[in-house]
Amino acid sequence: MRRRNRPFVELCLQVADATINQLHEVASFFYFCKDLTGGVWDAVRHPCKVKWQTTAYYMDSCGSDAMPIISLLGFLIGVILAFQAIVQLGRFGVESYVVNLVGTVITTELAPLVTAIVLAGRTGSNFAAEIGSMKAAEEISALVTMGMDVRRFLVMPKIFALLVITPGLTILSDACGIVGGMAVVCSMHSTTVAEYFTRTFEVIQPIDLFQGIVKSFFFAVIVGAVGCQKGLNSPDDAQGVGKAATSAVVTAIFIIVITDAILTACFGMLNK
């Protein structure tokens, strides 16, 4: 009995260790955000000190390069969601509510979440690897020696770039998801494109779009802050840079999911 129970006990210990590590990562993230507020306040007071050219560079590299994959994922999610909704709602004879389900779920939940996860995998890991490589090459130590603010020079342009591009990418994912749902609904039911879009615009309320945009701002801060934090805290070697990039993705997705649940609950209480 002891030998049989031992793997289960080890599994429980591993789950407990993973949970403790994730909670530690979340606590470190909030501590980093506390320090980051000083940099944000300084940028608001002295906007000329922000490296706006660097911000524009990250907006281009992180935004335009992510548009194809986000568009494709948004379209496929709309197709899958519409198909599953037709199958499930068809059992109860309420296929007419497929448009309601697709439009609402995509704009409030799936589009912001998928966009944030893609940015966490692409941009967050890139930020962590970039800053981690600079730390390994002692470039960050050189900046500190010259008296330059690392937060203003390295972190703030990345955060501001994500704050600008993430809502736009979320809207793009909304549009592609709705088009994907239209492709399935119009092909499987006697619904015209005009009827589909008319029903969609009737169903989607301003609060739904507002909810998705608000989530995208929170997710942008999470992706940027976690990526920069992991890069600044990475060990000074090649393996440490790789681990920092991997940890940035895992931690960002974990915090994004928790934040999404909290924001969804808050908006649900406001809509009552």
The pLDDT value recorded for residue 6 is 65
**Do 113 and 200 meet the contact criterion of CB atoms below 8 Å apart?**
no
* Other beta carbons less than 10 A from residue 94's beta carbon: 13
Backbone dihedral region for residue 220 (phi beyond 0: left; psi -120 to 50: alpha; all else: beta) = alpha
The answer to whether 244 touches 231, Cβ cutoff 8 Å, is yes
pLDDT at site 10: 80
- Long-range contacts from 53-57, C-beta under 8 angstroms, 24+ separation: 54/157, 55/156, 55/157, 55/160, 55/161, 56/161, 57/157
| pLDDT score at 1 | 44
Q: Which tokens go with 64?
A: 């335009």
Tens-binned pLDDT, residue by residue, of the chain (272 aa): 445 566 777 878 888 887 787 777 777 777 777 777 777 777 777 777 677 888 888 888 888 888 999 999 999 999 999 998 888 887 877 777 888 888 899 999 999 999 999 999 999 999 999 888 888 888 888 877 887 777 778 888 899 999 999 999 999 999 999 999 999 888 887 778 888 888 888 888 888 899 999 999 999 999 999 998 888 888 877 788 888 888 889 889 989 999 999 999 998 887 76
Question: What's the confidence (pLDDT) of residue 5?
Answer: 60
In the chain, at which residue ranges do the beta strands (DSSP E only) sit? Answer: none
Q: 8-37 pLDDT, tens per residue?
A: 778 788 888 877 877 777 777 777 777 777
- The CA distances from residue 128 to 174, 191, 208, 235, in Å, are 28, 47, 33, 11
Q: What is the pLDDT of residue 155?
A: 85
The whole-number pLDDT of residue 256 equals 94
- Which residues have C-beta within 8 Å of that of residue 189, sequence separation ≥ 6? 86, 95, 98
Specify the amino acid at residue 236: D
pLDDT the model gives residue 48 = 74
The DSSP secondary structure of 87-127, one letter per residue, reads: HHHHTTT-GGGHHHHHHHHIIIIIHHHHHHHHHIIIIIHHH
Residue 139, amino acid: E
Q: Roughly how many angstroms between the first and final C-alpha of the chain, as a whole number?
A: 52
**CA 248, 254, 256: angle at the middle one, nearest 5?**
95
